[in-house]
Structure formats: structure tokens, C-alpha cells
Amino acid sequence: MSKLRVVHYINNFFAGIGGEEKADIKPEKRVGVVGPGIALQKSLGEEAEIVATVICGDSYFGENIEEASKVLLEMIKEERPDIFIAGPAFNAGRYGVACGSICKKVEEELNIPVVTGMYVENPGVDMFKIDLYIVSTKSSAADLRKSIPKMASIGIKLAKGEEVGPPEVEGYIQRGVRINYFHELRGSERAVEMLVRKMNKQNYITEYPMPEFDRVDPAKAIVDISKVKVALVTSGGIVPIDNPDRIESSSATKYGIYDLTGMDSMSKDDFTTIHGGYDRAYVLENPNLVVPLDVLRELEKEGVIGELANYFVTTTGTGTSVGNAKSFGEDFSKKLVADGVKAVILTST
């Protein structure tokens, strides 16, 4: 019996091409295994063979999703695969979004089984967990040895038309799919049994887990804003023209703090937007639409606000993981507090 044909997708980093400086490479295809494909091929064993590896830079994919997907889809189609496997992406946000996006395209347009892997906080999880089998990984590539065999196992089962077991057995992230089955105990008995275990502080497993939401207590209202120092913070991707900190256009891993001393307006000659999630045409002409420095300077002169901090904090919101966003806020808020800032105007797009 012939082996199942597998096409594997990886990014510029795992292909050994380079890091952020090579994240803009266009899609390319190589014969056989590349990088983590070696471990994947070992896990696939004699049942399947990686016939090709398709590669794309994270930045290029994020900024050219439709074009990159189209080119990659053609490359994949040429290989007539039985399985398509992407990643794993771990906690790399742009990589996760790319893996999820191309997997969904392959599944829908080529009708080929797909599987990928990500850390639970990767933005790609929330975007694609309903559509795809996403193996749950740790946050870094140190988990490669454990996650790759799970991806290989699910991929082979899907290709052979075999049943994939529940998430806790197979190791993938819950998809929100509920399947009817017969249980020896009726619902009321199971509910009472679960309640008794909970009251006795014993371990129990709910049959319907609820989503977890991070709650933040609101700060006290400002009594008189005319006596308060205000700062500007944005997730709209506004940066100096040369983007000195190389903040990513999506799935940001960093933020920047930039000086506004002596400025009454955000000039298009000095600032731009690198955000990959909206039509930037108007903002490229007038960055004040996202960072309203012009209006706030007027309010400062009129005494409506006490003072405007002479810098703004910026990052890109689209695709950025909750973990990274929380880390950014915890970090730059220390500077805001130290500088006497009492209020923040947070702008998006």
C-alpha cells in the first residue's frame, strides 16, 4: 500500500532562513522535509511521507493574506497531498494566524484533512479552533517532541477516515463541538454526583465548561480632569516613519514609546501606521485620526485637561495575543504612574 502524501507548512524562522529580518519572504516550496519536518516525518512513520514543505515569512503572510494564501494553495495542490500539517506555531502569534488561515483554506478549497498546533493563548486559537483540529502545545519550541506526535496521529486518523477521540485523549484544543452519546447515569444523577464532589472539595470534571474572562476592576472616576495629566496609548500601529523598534504589523510582540515634545500635531512626514488590520489610506495622510495629538493640544491650551504627557505609547492590536497585550500594559503602566499620569486615552482604529 502506498504511503499517505503529506505537505508541511512552516515559517521563515523554522525553515532556517532567518528571524525578523527575513519575515517578509514570499511563499516558496521545497522538496521533502525541512526543519521541524524531520521530527514530524519520524512521528508519521511508515504510514505517511512528507513530499514537500511550503514556507512563507510571517510578516509577508500577515500583510498579504489573500495573495499569499492563493500562491500557497497552488503549491500545495500540485503535490496532491492526503494530509496538510501546519506548524506547530506555539505562542508565535503571526505564525499561528498564518497556520490557521492556510489550514482553513486547504480544508475548504482542496477538501484535504488538516491539523496544526498552537499554545492556548496564541490568537490563532480563538480565530480557528471551531474550524480546525489544533493540538495544544506549550508556549515554546521546547515542546516540539511532545506536540509533533499528537499532530501526526490526528492527521493520519483524519486521512484514513478514522474517528478522532475527545480533546483530553488526543491532545487538541476543545472545538466547542458537542456529540450525543449514551451514559449509564442520567443527567440529574450525574449533576448531584458532581455537586457532592465539589462540596467535598474533591476533583470533578464539568460536562459543560464555561469560558474564562479576565476581570479588571475599573479605576475611580476623575473628579476634575482640568487638573490631571493625560497620556495617549494606542493599538492602532502609529510609529515614527522608520518604525525604529520594528513593531510587527500584526500579532505584535513589542510596543514603543515615542516623544511628542514641542509637537502640536502628528505629521505624516514624521509618523505612519504599520497596522495590518485596516485600510490605512486616511491615517497615512493624517495620523491624528488614530493618535489625536492635535485635538488634545487644543484642549491642553484651553485648560480642559491639566497636561498632556509628552510621549505616546503604541503597538499593533490585530492578532496580538492576550498574554502579550497584558504584559505590555503591566510594563508601560509603571512609567505612566511614575510620570504622574492619572488618565489614559486609549485609541484603536
Residue 92 resides in a domain:
yes
pLDDT grade for 212, boundaries at 50, 70 and 90:
low
Query: Same domain for 161 and 50?
Result: yes
Residue 185 resides in a domain:
no
> Apex CA 38: angle with CA 37 and CA 40, to 5°?
60
Neighbouring-strand partners of residue 346: 233
Contact 93, 62 (CB under 8 A): no
pLDDT number for residue 276? 80
Measured between alpha carbons, how far is 75 from 70 in angstroms, rounded to an integer?
9
Residue 206 resides in a domain:
no
Q: Which of 141, 170, 199 is the last residue of a domain?
A: 170
Query: Same domain for 24 and 123?
Result: yes
Q: Does pLDDT of 314 surpass 70?
A: yes
More confident call, 176 vs 38:
38
Query: Same domain for 274 and 146?
Result: no
Give the least confident one: 10-24, 69-83, 173-187, 257-271.
173-187
* pLDDT tens digits, 284-297: 999 999 999 999 99
- 10 Å CB burial of residue 299 (0-12, 13-18, 19+) is middle
* pLDDT tens digits, 35-82: 999 999 999 999 999 999 999 999 899 888 889 999 999 999 999 999
pLDDT number for residue 249? 85
Alpha helices, DSSP H, located in the chain: 37-44, 58-63, 65-78, 93-105, 123-128, 144-159, 167-170, 187-199, 281-285, 293-302, 322-338
> Apex CA 300: angle with CA 298 and CA 306, to 5°?
165
Query: Same domain for 18 and 156?
Result: yes
pLDDT number for residue 320? 80
In single-letter form, the type of residue at position 31 comes to V
Residue 245 resides in a domain:
yes
pLDDT number for residue 336? 95
Query: Same domain for 13 and 116?
Result: yes
Query: Same domain for 166 and 78?
Result: yes
In single-letter form, the type of residue at position 310 comes to N
Highest mean pLDDT range out of 136-145, 299-308, 319-328?
Answer: 299-308
Query: Same domain for 341 and 236?
Result: yes
Q: Backbone phi, then psi, for 257, in 5-degree steps?
A: -125, 120
Percentage above 90 pLDDT, the chain = 68
Measured between alpha carbons, how far is 252 from 308 in angstroms, rounded to an integer?
26
Residue 253 resides in a domain:
yes
Question: Which CATH number goes with the domain that contains 18?
Answer: 3.40.50.2300
In single-letter form, the type of residue at position 253 comes to T
Residue 29 resides in a domain:
yes
Percentage above 70 pLDDT, the chain = 97
Query: Same domain for 61 and 143?
Result: yes
Residue 198 resides in a domain:
no
Q: How many CA atoms lie within 13 A of 200 on its CB side?
A: 9
Q: Which of 107, 142, 170 is the last residue of a domain?
A: 170
Q: Does pLDDT of 1 surpass 70?
A: no
Residue 254 resides in a domain:
yes
Measured between alpha carbons, how far is 13 from 94 in angstroms, rounded to an integer?
12
Q: Structurally, how many domains does the chain consist of?
A: 2
Q: Look up the domain containing 88 and give its range.
A: 4-170
Q: Which of 170, 185, 209 is the last residue of a domain?
A: 170
Query: Same domain for 158 and 258?
Result: no
Query: Same domain for 162 and 229?
Result: no
C-alpha torsion 22→131→151→61, nearest 10 = -10
State the pTM of this model: 0.64
Query: Same domain for 125 and 10?
Result: yes
Mean pLDDT of 170-180: 80
Mean pLDDT of 177-186: 78
Strand order, beta sheet including 114-119 = 28-31, 48-56, 4-11, 83-86, 114-119, 134-137
N-term to C-term CA, the chain: 55
Mean pLDDT of 113-120: 95
* pLDDT tens digits, 252-277: 889 999 999 999 999 999 999 999 87
pLDDT number for residue 14? 93
pLDDT grade for 317, boundaries at 50, 70 and 90:
confident
Query: Same domain for 166 and 247?
Result: no
